[in-house]
Structure 1
Amino acid sequence: MALGRLNIVELTADSGARRTIHLDAEIRGLVFTDSGNLVVGTAQGIVVLEV
């Protein structure tokens, strides 16, 4: 079961820098790690985004 389909994510880092990420994938799960990365589980695989 998918959580939804993600197209654009806007993130703000602790430093205040904003990032826009374009990701066209069927999202299965989202997790923030202790090191500040965003791990995205998709139907196609896993993507780790350094925030």
Structure 2
Amino acid sequence: MDLEHATLVRLSKSFGLFYLIALSIITVVYAYWPSNKKAFDRAAKSVLRNEYGPWR
């Protein structure tokens, strides 16, 4: 079985495409999973906590 450069490039690009699509789907599912809501809300509000005004 002789694999040419073009064949390997096509396979790697296809694998990379499907890998990034799967990673994006996993990330979105994790972000919208109901049990993670509390942690994300706490993280969003922690940025505003202890803010008294502009930094001098």
TM-score by structure 1 length? 0.18
Query: Normalized per residue, which structure has more strand?
Result: 1
Q: Which structure would you say has the larger RCO, counting Cα contacts within 8 Å and 6 or more residues apart? A: 1
Q: Which has the larger radius of gyration?
A: 2
TM-score by structure 2 length? 0.17
